[in-house]
């Protein structure tokens, strides 16, 4: 580092215009022993200000030296992922600046695409490495010329289709976005004239950086490739065609006989516009009974669309105002809402339907929870409906378990202190209160503290129904159906199910069934602990956190000692070896929770 920090800038200046110094530099790096080659090449790559400078300093070293070739084409690109984008641009730009090295560029692109399109690599490598490989692919594509693209068009198309499928199957939004951006870029390169892929996603800084790698020139001194110039010329030539055709279409419309145009103008002159300034929009009244709502939501008449909209908007408040009437038809109403589809374009329809479902479930928990949990494992439901069921269960459990806040402001008489004695009361019994109020009235307070909010005590409604939410969901996860396989291709729903169980476990703190729920959840986690999807593993680790914080420590040690020891060993392996950073963080958090529980038990006197 010390040597190259001085040597590279000096050699950069000397080789700028002197070919003899370039040959001296090439000979210098070619004579480096193999055991030092990696450190020297990596130092030159990291300190070179651009790909053209690196090309002057190294020459065709990667063609002549196998060790240097391995470092540049394999180690930096495929085996490591901590380098900056500038290093990637230096390496790939260096490979593209000479005819002998361009064969290595094509080979590197092929290997990068193989890794990017491998489902095993997508599942078992961290998201940071996937981002690193995606950047390298886009930089390679920016250096390809039209004949090279034509020669490997079929390979690019095959890799694009396989890699796009692997990334879109992932549960992590970042990986899905990476797949979309790279697939769009490959499609843009191989389909210069026809239609290209276009996905809908929200652009962020990461996606904008990826797209810039495809269109920006990696080096300051490299002339832009011809295909881009040709494409710009084609686009520039195509631009005037649109206004020309528009001019023709616009100029063609007025060409009509003068008599017909005059006749139309004359016919319009006699019409007097109506005064609509005082018109008011007719408001459709929403139903006031639950059964009327059911009739409207299940009706098929097209003229009831306005009434249907009003019913959907008012259903939640109607359910909460009429709990007795809701309980009579709760299961039927839950079934209707689960299958309800949007007839018209209502703003926030999904949220309105979900809030109505939560209100029904919170009003009549046991029968509605039985119905929803049974439908989760039934046939003929879409994945979206199954995930809606999980969301409704979580929101309703949260509503049932959390106490309501009633703010009671103390010192309410501080503004106008006064003493009020009831007639006929014995003042000797209230002397302390009278003195306190008199002192308060005479005391000047320059700063008043914040008013305290007292929590009014409410029974935990989730206590008696937690089992109906939890146990049916955990029973049949390993039984595949014709259209639903949690342990197979439907791992997205499995991830949502695992996170839902973790939340239900967390909300069940201080309930009667919490110990039984904890034992069942620990067995569930143990079965799935080696799942290949990182989103599922994150949910499993969240389940362990919920269990450790919800189940009483005495019950954990009495009923789950052996299981916890095995879990602790598994958490240690996850913290050290799991490729996903969030999984490692959650495993460390769980180990710290276990350590805190151990310290608390040691502090308690026997």
My answer on whether 104 and 2 are in the same domain is no
Q: What DSSP character marks residue 302?
A: G
Whether residue 388 lies inside any domain: the answer is no
Amino acid 232: pLDDT: 44
Burial environment of residue 599 by CB neighbours within 10 A (0 to 12, 13 to 18, 19 or more): exposed
Amino acid 346: pLDDT: 81
User: Which domain covers residue 553, as residue numbers?
Assistant: 462-605
Contact partners, residue 215, CB within 8 Å, separation at least 6: 142, 228
456 pLDDT tier (thresholds 50, 70, 90): low
Whether residue 378 lies inside any domain: the answer is no
Question: Does residue 525 register a pLDDT over 90?
Answer: yes
Contact partners, residue 262, CB within 8 Å, separation at least 6: none
* Final residue in a domain of this structure, among 63, 80, 97: 97
Domain count, the chain: 3
Burial environment of residue 200 by CB neighbours within 10 A (0 to 12, 13 to 18, 19 or more): exposed
Whether residue 237 lies inside any domain: the answer is no
Whether residue 342 lies inside any domain: the answer is no
Residue of 558, 524, 530, 561 whose CA lies nearest to 544: 524
Q: In this predicted model, what pLDDT tens digit does every residue of 46-97 receive, in sequence order?
A: 988 888 899 888 888 999 989 999 999 999 999 989 899 999 999 999 999 8
Q: What pTM, to 2 d.p., does this model score?
A: 0.69
Residue of 386, 360, 354 whose CA lies nearest to 373: 386
Whether residue 517 lies inside any domain: the answer is yes
Handedness of CA 590, 591, 596, 601 (dihedral sign): positive
DSSP 62-113: HHH-HHHHHIIIIIIIII---S-HHHHHHHHHHHHTSHHHHHHHHHHHHHHH
91 and 157 in contact (C-beta within 8 Å)?
Answer: no
Amino acid 280: pLDDT: 65
What percent of the chain is predicted at pLDDT more than 70? 79
435 and 417 in contact (C-beta within 8 Å)?
Answer: no
User: Helices 153-168 and 99-116 meet at what angle, rounded to 10?
Assistant: 30
Question: Does residue 157 register a pLDDT over 60?
Answer: yes
**CA angle, 477 as apex, 474 and 479 as ends, to 5°?**
140
72 and 119 in contact (C-beta within 8 Å)?
Answer: no
Contact partners, residue 537, CB within 8 Å, separation at least 6: 529, 531, 574, 578, 580, 583
Tokens of 542: 């969240």
My answer on whether 29 and 144 are in the same domain is no
Amino acid 403: pLDDT: 56
Of all residues in the chain, what percent are helix, strand and coil, respectively (each to 5)? 70, 0, 30
* Final residue in a domain of this structure, among 36, 69, 97: 97
CA distance from start to end of the chain: 59
283 pLDDT tier (thresholds 50, 70, 90): low
Looking at residues 477-483, what average pLDDT do you find? 80
My answer on whether 78 and 185 are in the same domain is no
Looking at residues 16-43, what average pLDDT do you find? 89
Burial environment of residue 272 by CB neighbours within 10 A (0 to 12, 13 to 18, 19 or more): exposed
My answer on whether 49 and 176 are in the same domain is no
My answer on whether 487 and 557 are in the same domain is yes
H helix count then E strand count, the chain: 32, 0
My answer on whether 120 and 7 are in the same domain is no
Looking at residues 187-205, what average pLDDT do you find? 83
* Final residue in a domain of this structure, among 186, 216, 246: 216
d(CA 532, CA 477): 17
């Amino acid at each position: 580092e010390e040597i190259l920090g001085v040597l590279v800038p000096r050699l950069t200046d000397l080789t700028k215009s002197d070919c003899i110094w370039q040959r001296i530099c090439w000979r210098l790096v070619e004579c480096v022993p193999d055991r030092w080659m990696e450190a020297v090449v990596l130092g030159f790559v990291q300190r070179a200000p651009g790909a053209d400078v690196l090309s002057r300093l190294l020459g065709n070293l990667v063609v002549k030296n196998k060790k240097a070739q391995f470092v540049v084409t394999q180690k930096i690109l495929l085996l490591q992922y901590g380098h900056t984008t500038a290093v990637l641009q230096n390496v790939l730009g260096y490979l593209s600046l000479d005819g002998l090295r361009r064969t290595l560029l094509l080979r590197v692109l092929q290997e990068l695409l193989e890794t990017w399109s491998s489902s095993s690599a997508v599942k078992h490598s961290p998201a940071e490495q996937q981002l690193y490989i995606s950047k390298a692919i886009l930089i390679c594509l920016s250096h390809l010329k039209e004949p090279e693209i034509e020669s490997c068009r079929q390979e690019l198309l095959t890799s694009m289709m396989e890699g796009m499928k692997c990334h879109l199957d992932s549960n992590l939004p970042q990986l899905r976005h990476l797949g979309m951006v790279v697939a769009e870029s490959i499609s843009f390169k191989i389909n210069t004239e026809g239609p290209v892929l276009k996905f809908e996603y929200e652009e962020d800084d990461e996606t904008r950086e990826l797209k810039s790698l495809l269109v920006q020139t990696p080096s300051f001194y490299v002339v832009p490739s011809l295909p881009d110039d040709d494409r710009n010329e084609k686009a520039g030539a195509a631009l005037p065609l649109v206004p020309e055709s528009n001019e023709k279409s616009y100029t063609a419309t007025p060409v009509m006989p003068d008599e017909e145009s005059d006749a139309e103008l004359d016919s319009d002159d006699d019409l007097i516009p109506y005064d609509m300034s005082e018109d008011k929009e007719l408001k459709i009244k929403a139903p006031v009974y639950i059964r009327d709502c059911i009739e409207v939501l299940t009706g098929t008449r097209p003229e009831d669309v306005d009434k249907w909209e009003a019913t959907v908007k008012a259903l939640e408040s109607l359910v909460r105002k009429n709990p007795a009437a809701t309980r009579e038809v709760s299961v039927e109403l839950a079934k209707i809402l689960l299958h309800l589809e949007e007839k018209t374009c209502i703003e926030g329809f999904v949220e309105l339907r979900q809030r109505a479902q939560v209100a029904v479930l919170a009003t009549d928990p046991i029968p509605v929870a039985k119905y929803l949990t049974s439908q989760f494992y039934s046939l003929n439901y879409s994945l979206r409906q199954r995930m809606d069921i999980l969301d409704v269960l979580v929101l309703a459990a949260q509503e049932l378990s959390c106490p309501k806040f009633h703010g009671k402001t103390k010192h309410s008489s501080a503004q106008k202190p006064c003493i009020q004695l009831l007639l006929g009361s014995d003042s000797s019994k209230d002397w302390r209160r009278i003195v306190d109020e008199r002192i308060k009235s005479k005391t000047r307070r320059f700063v008043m503290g914040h008013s305290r909010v007292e929590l009014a005590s409410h029974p935990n409604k989730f206590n008696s129904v937690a089992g109906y939410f939890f146990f049916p969901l955990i029973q049949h996860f390993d039984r595949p159906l014709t259209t639903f396989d949690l342990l197979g291709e439907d791992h997205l729903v499995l991830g949502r199910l695992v996170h839902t169980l973790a939340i239900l476990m967390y909300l069940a703190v201080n309930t009667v069934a919490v110990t039984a729920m904890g034992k069942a959840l620990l067995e569930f986690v143990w079965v799935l602990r080696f799942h290949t999807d990182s989103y599922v593993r994150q949910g499993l680790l969240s389940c362990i956190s919920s269990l450790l914080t919800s189940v009483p420590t005495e019950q954990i040690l009495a009923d789950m000692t052996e299981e916890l020891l095995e879990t602790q060993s598994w958490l240690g392996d996850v913290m050290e070896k799991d490729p996903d950073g969030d999984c490692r963080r959650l495993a460390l958090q769980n180990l710290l929770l276990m350590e805190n529980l151990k310290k608390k038990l040691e502090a308690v006197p026997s």
